[in-house]
Amino acid sequence: MVELSNVANRGVSSSVISATSIDFARNFPPPSPLIGDLLALAFDELEGPDIAAAIRFPRFAGTARDRAAAASWVARRLGIAPDPERIILSNGSQSILVMLLASLVQPGNVLLTEELTYAAIKPIVSLFGIKLLPIKMDDEGLIPDALDSACIKIGRAPRALYCMPTLHNPTGATMSIERRADVAEVAKRHNLWIFEDDIYGILPETAPLPLYTFAPERTWYILGLSKSLAAQLRVAYTVAPSETMARQVFWPGVKTTNWMVAPLIAEVATRWVEQDAANAILRSVRTETNVRQEIIRKSLPSWAIRVPPFCYHIWLELPPAWSAAEFEQAVRRQGVVIAPGDSFSAIPGGFAARFRIGIGVPSDHQTLRAGLDILNNTRDQIASS
C-alpha cells in the first residue's frame, strides 16, 4: 500500500479546515430551500387542541389517512396505488429490515445480498446470528445467474434476498427492466422472500418498475422519505405481500421494538403528500443534485466520474496499490470524512481501493467545493510522491 501519512497535511490551506468536518460519509439529499418554510407552515397548521389529540398516542402502522397518503406516494413507483391495509409506516427502512429479518429469516439462516450493500446490513445480521451470502454484481447490479447459483448452494434453508435495484448504494447502478424480471424469476424458482429497498428509486424522473411489480406475492417493497425528500422526514412506507403478512410480521413487535414512526413526523409527512408539498420538495432535490454533480465533475478532473442523473452518492476508485482506509485517514486529518469501500462490502476487506462520497450533506456549494478540493489535492499529491 502507498503510505499516505506524509501527504496528509501538505498543500492544504488552514482556511478549509474547521472544527466541523466536511461530511461526505453520510448520505442524505441536498438541502431543499423549501423545507424551512414548509416546516414552519406545517407547525402553524398543527396548532390547537385537535392536533394535540391527534398526535398524543402512537400511530403504530399509521392511521387510515397516513396509509392512504402512503399508497398515493408509493403509486408513483408501482404504477398503481396498493391496498392501504398492506402498508406499514415505520421510523425508517432500517427498522423495517430488523422486523423482516427477525420474522422471515431468523437466526442461523441465510440472507442473500449484493456483494456491496447498505452498510447497516452487516451489523444487523450479526446481531441476529444470520449468515450473509454476497452475490456478484456488474454494471447493472445483482447478476441473476449468480443469485441462482447461490440459491442452489444453500439448498432448502429458509432465506431471503435484500437488494437495491435502483441507484444502488454505493455504486449507483440501476437494473434494467429485463434484469429485474430475471431476478424475480430466480426468486420464484427458489422460493425467496425479496426485501426490495427502493429508497432512492423515486429520485430519477423515470426509472424501471420495481421488482415488486414482477413478484408481488413475495416482495416487501420499501420506499423511505428521508433519502429522497429530507433527512428531517424519517418515515418509510412498506408494502407487504398481503394484509395478513403485514400483521403477522409487525404487530408482535409493538411492545418489544421501536419500529413505529413518531406521530408528529407521520402527521407532517402525510400533510406534505396530501398537499403536494412532497412533490415540490422532490423536484427541488432533483435540481440541486444535478447542480452538485456538475460541481463534482469540474472539481475532480483526475477522477473517472460515472454517476447517473439525480444520484447524490458517488463511488470512486483509487489506483489498486492505494488503500481507501489510508486515504480516508489522510483526508480526515484535513477535515473531510468519507466512507471506505470495506464498510459496504459483504466480505471483510473487500473493495479496499474504493470509497463512497455523499454530496448531499454539505450545506452549500462552497463547502462542497472545499471538500472536493481536499480529495483532489490529496490524490494528486499521492500520485506525485
- Structure-model confidence comparison of residues 381 and 164, the more confident one: 164
Instruction: Specify the pLDDT at position 76.
Output: 96
For residue 127, pLDDT beyond 50: yes
Instruction: Specify the pLDDT at position 6.
Output: 40
Instruction: Specify the pLDDT at position 153.
Output: 87
For residue 18, pLDDT beyond 50: no
For residue 248, pLDDT beyond 70: yes
Total Cβ atoms within 10 A of residue 51: 15
Three-state DSSP class for 11? coil
Q: For residue 170, is the peptide bond before it cis, meaning its omega torsion is within 30 degrees of 0?
A: yes
Instruction: Specify the pLDDT at position 3.
Output: 41
> What mean pLDDT is predicted for residues 307-334?
91
Question: Across the chain, which distance is largest between two alpha carbons, in Å?
Answer: 67
What are 156-203's pLDDT values in tens digits? 776 899 999 999 999 999 999 999 999 999 999 999 999 999 999 999
CA 61 → CA 217, 224, 225, 232, 243, distances in Å?
20, 14, 16, 19, 12
Confidence of residue 381 (pLDDT cuts 50, 70, 90): confident
Confidence of residue 97 (pLDDT cuts 50, 70, 90): very high
Closest to 167 (Cα-Cα) out of 144, 198, 121, 209 = 198
> What mean pLDDT is predicted for residues 204-216?
97
Are 194 and 182 in contact by the 8 Å Cβ rule? The answer is: no
> What mean pLDDT is predicted for residues 306-333?
90
Instruction: Specify the pLDDT at position 49.
Output: 64
What are 255-284's pLDDT values in tens digits? 888 899 999 999 999 999 999 999 999 999
For residue 7, pLDDT beyond 50: no
Three-state DSSP class for 339? strand
| Angle, vertex CA 310, rays to CA 209 and CA 301, nearest 5 | 135
Element (H, E) at 243: helix 243-250
Instruction: Specify the pLDDT at position 45.
Output: 79
Instruction: Specify the pLDDT at position 14.
Output: 35
Confidence of residue 154 (pLDDT cuts 50, 70, 90): confident
Closest to 126 (Cα-Cα) out of 150, 154, 105 = 105
End-to-end CA distance of the chain: 13
Instruction: Specify the pLDDT at position 54.
Output: 73
Q: In what order do the strands lie in the sheet with 131-135?
A: 87-90, 236-239, 219-224, 193-197, 159-163, 110-114, 131-135
The conformation of residue 105, written as its DSSP 8-state character, comes to: I
> What mean pLDDT is predicted for residues 88-109?
94
Q: CA torsion sign, 172 to 95 to 121 to 303?
A: positive
The conformation of residue 131, written as its DSSP 8-state character, comes to: E
* Cα(61)–Cα(66) distance, integer angstroms: 9
- Structure-model confidence comparison of residues 226 and 319, the more confident one: 226
Cell of 198: 427502493
Confidence of residue 223 (pLDDT cuts 50, 70, 90): very high
Instruction: Specify the pLDDT at position 72.
Output: 97
Sequence-separated (6 or more) residues with CB below 8 Å from residue 244:
none
Instruction: Specify the pLDDT at position 385.
Output: 65
Instruction: Specify the pLDDT at position 302.
Output: 83
Confidence of residue 138 (pLDDT cuts 50, 70, 90): very high
For residue 55, pLDDT beyond 90: no
Q: What is the DSSP string of 296-317?
A: HHHH-TTS-----TT--EEEEE
Instruction: Specify the pLDDT at position 2.
Output: 39
What are 23's strand-pairing partners?
A: 337
Instruction: Specify the pLDDT at position 331.
Output: 95
